[in-house]
Structure 1
């Protein structure tokens, strides 16, 4: 690919940090630039960083000055917050501003992180879901709703600029030693809780595999949407068995009441909208990534869960 200039939004995020460590050493990255609302934890030899809000008009100016070869958009609020307007401003409006910056600078290659949650968790979902399946996020889970909305923005951009190499990634739940999200919070609770009568198959991608997949998509200039998930699945009962922690399965109505109360009291980091994602299936098919680009996952869903449990000292 030669020496590329790369621009990254959300550079201080936990996963962006993992990706930046790779960009700091791979031979086809000459230099990378990034923005976030706080400084990254690490210092990189090839990086130039500025503190900047994703909705700042200065973003377009800086991107136009740099003229990057590749633009990677990772600036999102993953964990749900009580201020829904702010969450949407970052996740959706921020994506719009990032794409505007790309348009101003005529960036030739773009990668945007969406999510497998955008398909929605529904009782009648086919198993597995392929990239051509329609996006139908559960209305109460704002993160997934925002991902579907930002994909609309991406598709509009692709129609305006068909020559742009545009990639959208839809990973399953991301896990690893440096990850904190909804399900890692659930596993970290003193008592593991499931929904009685429901044990949907779940997928977990290790952060190292996610990083490798992104780099491969960029290097091979993959276009369109790519599901990112290992082929195997695991259920909550299996996770309960692996962890050896005390567990309980509660009726759905009771889980809704408890979650609503604990969310209101700022005890839970997720609201009731998330519950359908541990109630109904949303298994995604990553055969396009494997067959077209030749990607091989290093970790299975089960192995990724074992790594998570070890990192939290739940497994020896």
Structure 2
């Protein structure tokens, strides 16, 4: 494709930095926007410190052919509805500015979590599957709403419409919308917030189901963005390595640690207790994603020429932060892991008894 002026939001993040560099390598004129100062930019990349919530975004997007929205928005650990509303207001400002200055191609980073984790999900999910995020997990609900707003931008209905991104959206034929739905994304610099939340939720296993995991390296997501820009692809694209891994493989790769297997009704209760006491970063709403399937197929993106360079296992290991247990021999690790699991279970039982007694006294 001809050289384009590409504006990338969230350019200071792990994926944003890689995306800017990859687009510049392809010859595009790249401008990165982020409220945090970043490291020295890659050759061909101009970085600007910009707060999307207050800046004049029309001035920032002026002359842009493509806008790649990678800014984080709601994080996996957020639970307040006010947070989601504020982040969506930023999306609305960005879409309004893109409309005003004549941006023709918008690429947004959504999530495979918008499909929701449901017992009847096919394995794997394709882009034709309905968008039905688990309603109590704000991260997924926010991403689904962002997709609706972007679809409204394409149709010309404004940023508050109720459309869902799809292959056949009506509207301005000159406007292109690419919706990337990546699996859990990790980078070598540090474990991602979503990866930490999903891992914590999976540590409390339910007998209702065995979680399947997909882990995407940030390099591969950056390559997917570049592929979408080059192809000017209109519609949703799943982004994930080939296949998936089971919970036993994740446990082996992640090293030892306390893991509980509980009856289906008890597992979410334990998860809520761990969250409320600060012992887990996983909010209660993420629990279904550790029980029911939501892994995705990558065939459509592969047909555009994209290929993953990291397997699920490689990405998982890259995002795993080694701890003290990783330096111990296998026997010692096993003993400590069993002891820790026992202590966690005893502590949870104590909390349950305490809450029941408190409820009885109030009654």
Matched residue SS, 1:17: helix
CA spacing shift, 1:27–1:300, aligned 2, 3 Å = closer
The Cα shift of 1:232 comes to 1.1
C-alpha separation in 2, matches of 1:308 and 1:141 = 22
The Cα shift of 1:128 comes to 1.7
Matched residue SS, 1:49: strand
Equivalent pair of 2:4/2:66 in contact (CA under 8 Å): yes
The Cα shift of 1:136 comes to 0.3
C-alpha separation in 1, matches of 2:96 and 2:228 = 22
The Cα shift of 1:279 comes to 0.6
Equivalent pair of 2:64/2:103 in contact (CA under 8 Å): yes
Q: Deviations over 1:31-57 (max 9, x none)?
A: x22322322244344333333332335
C-alpha separation in 2, matches of 1:113 and 1:243 = 27
Equivalent pair of 1:8/1:71 in contact (CA under 8 Å): yes
Tell whether 2:53 aligns with 1:55. Answer: yes
CA spacing shift, 1:79–1:197, aligned 2, 3 Å = closer
Tell whether 2:226 aligns with 1:241. Answer: no
Equivalent pair of 2:198/2:282 in contact (CA under 8 Å): no
Matched residue SS, 2:213: coil
Q: Deviations over 1:271-296 (max 9, x none)?
A: 110010011001211111112x1222
C-alpha separation in 1, matches of 2:26 and 2:234 = 22
Matched residue SS, 2:205: strand
Tell whether 2:265 aligns with 1:256. Answer: no
In the other structure, the counterpart of 2:322 is: 312
Equivalent pair of 1:71/1:110 in contact (CA under 8 Å): yes
- List gaps (5 residues or longer) in structure 1: none
In the other structure, the counterpart of 1:216 is: 227
C-alpha separation in 2, matches of 1:186 and 1:155 = 28
Q: Deviations over 1:42-86 (max 9, x none)?
A: 43443333333323351123213xx11211011223232244312
User: For the aligned residues, what is the CA RMSD?
Assistant: 2.5
Among candidates 80, 105, 110, match of residue 109 of structure 1:
105
In the other structure, the counterpart of 2:76 is: 79
CA spacing shift, 1:297–1:85, aligned 2, 3 Å = same
The Cα shift of 1:186 comes to 5.8
In the other structure, the counterpart of 2:15 is: 15
Select between 237-246 and 109-118 the one with higher mean Cα deviation: 237-246
- Which structure has the bigger radius of gyration? 2
C-alpha separation in 2, matches of 1:7 and 1:244 = 40
The Cα shift of 1:150 comes to 1.0
CA spacing shift, 1:193–1:35, aligned 2, 3 Å = same
Among candidates 126, 132, 136, match of residue 122 of structure 2:
126
The Cα shift of 1:154 comes to 1.4
Aligned length in residues: 308
Equivalent pair of 1:5/1:69 in contact (CA under 8 Å): yes
C-alpha separation in 2, matches of 1:108 and 1:265 = 47
Q: Deviations over 1:152-204 (max 9, x none)?
A: 11111222233112211011111231341233356589x94433342132211
C-alpha separation in 2, matches of 1:255 and 1:3 = 52
C-alpha separation in 2, matches of 1:40 and 1:57 = 18
In the other structure, the counterpart of 1:180 is: 192
Q: Deviations over 1:19-40 (max 9, x none)?
A: 223334x04223x223223222
In the other structure, the counterpart of 2:34 is: 36
TM-score (norm: length of structure 1): 0.87
Among candidates 82, 95, 98, match of residue 99 of structure 1:
95
Q: Deviations over 1:240-296 (max 9, x none)?
A: 1334414332334443233323333444333110010011001211111112x1222
The Cα shift of 1:227 comes to 0.8
